[in-house]
Amino acid sequence: MLKQYKRELNRLTSSLIKKHSSEYKFSIDPSEKNTAQQFERIYELNSKIQEKHENLRITSEILNQSCLNNFRYDRYNNLIKKSIDKALEKTARFIFFEIFQNLLPINQARGDYFLDQADFENAFSSFKNILRIDPNNKHVHSRLSSLKRQLSKECNNRRKPDIAPISAEITKLSQTYRFCHLLTVKNKNIRFPTHLLYSKKTGEILISDPKCNLIHKFKINGHYCGNISHDFKEPSGMFEDSNNNIWICDWGNSILKIINPEGKLLEKLPVTNIVPKGSDILHPRFGTFFKNNLFLLLTDKGNLKRSLISFDGNNTKYYSINSAELLNDLKATEKDLFVSCVISGRIYSYDSTSDQFKQLPINETPMMYSFAHVDGNLILITYNGKSILKFNLNGNLIFAKMDLNDLIPECSQLHMVISSKIDNKNYLFASDSNKNWYVLSA
């Protein structure tokens, strides 16, 4: 049934392209009945694929719950789950990417046509549908830059309508959808780069390496600055406190180690001093400070059981999130705290009023390795690290790049990602599982 829907979608989009496109130049009446009906049919079929995607997601969730609650059938359920998750990835790829890829020539032609007619609302709408799958599309950004220059020249002409809202929309489009690869750093000293931290004090990138049991230091231009070694055993996540001291989750030793920005060891805080006596979930994977409390994501030695806790210096609180969730990333901003689940792809946000975590209304994207928060939006590394999706906090998809090679040459998979604002510009720093890390603008 799914193949039938996709064949029909491809037929309709091909028909529209053949009918209305000639080297991306055409004249179209947007009210043309046949065209409107074809577009309506395309989105109708796409909604059916979304329904299939949701059914697959629910099945995957049931299998996940079964695996965690009944280890006897774990092997058999995992075999089925791999097939289900593969189908999930295919349907998501179509929902997020392929339908808009098929319509790209039409949206480009429509955008150009409406822009020439000074119908900015429809022009920007068509361009958005291009940028949501190709955020660096040269044609669209060239047209927007050209329009902005033209408007700047006419801004003193009183006979022209108010151009401030139009200029503001152009700026918003350019900033929201720009996503550029700036630098790939390859270094023989790294064996397995995992978690990253940008030190605000030194301007260095710190990368934990559990195979070397070291923390590597780099400048953002890729220059290697040496390493930090304090008897780590599989170091994991890192985070800063208000004094710019760096807290390192020494996962294998079940200790939080606190160092100053220069790398000197200041203090050790055993997790056993925080959690109740007798707990076997003692290994810190991630941590952060939020509202003067220490939040930690802990695992057991086998990395299967996980707990999310907060500690105010005296008391420890455990947060209840779906028992089937394998929580895998924890990030904080000045206003928000987020935690994600690797298998379901859900993201939860901390609600200070109820002192609980609530699920964000974002499409669930299975096998989500990491995420970053950038100016009120979330950038997700998902589908086994092969895709990058950007959502706002209301759950609206901004863009989806399903093939990393389109953005980052020679990169097929990302592992972890963080964001930082440096000199008023947003940057992403990401690691893969192949000894490399990357600098991106977001």
145 vs 24: which has the higher pLDDT: 145
Per residue in 168-193, pLDDT (tens digit) is: 888 888 888 878 889 999 888 888 88
CB atoms within 10 A of CB 151: 15
Average pLDDT, integer, range 193-202: 92
Note the Cα 362 to chain centre separation in Å: 11
Q: Does the global pTM surpass 0.95?
A: no
Long-range contact list for 290-296, CB < 8 A, 24+ apart? 290/332, 290/337, 290/350, 291/352, 295/330, 295/332, 295/337, 296/249, 296/256, 296/271
Per residue in 384-430, pLDDT (tens digit) is: 788 888 888 888 888 888 778 878 888 878 889 999 988 888 899 99
Per residue in 308-338, pLDDT (tens digit) is: 999 999 999 999 886 556 788 999 998 999 9
pLDDT (0 to 100) of residue 256: 97
Average pLDDT, the chain: 81
Residue 246 to residue 199: CA distance in whole angstroms: 8
Residue 156 to residue 153: CA distance in whole angstroms: 7
Q: Which residue do the tokens 């395309």 mark?
A: 42
Residue 28 to residue 26: CA distance in whole angstroms: 6
Residue 227 to residue 77: CA distance in whole angstroms: 42
Per residue in 202-247, pLDDT (tens digit) is: 999 999 999 999 999 999 999 999 999 999 999 999 999 999 999 9
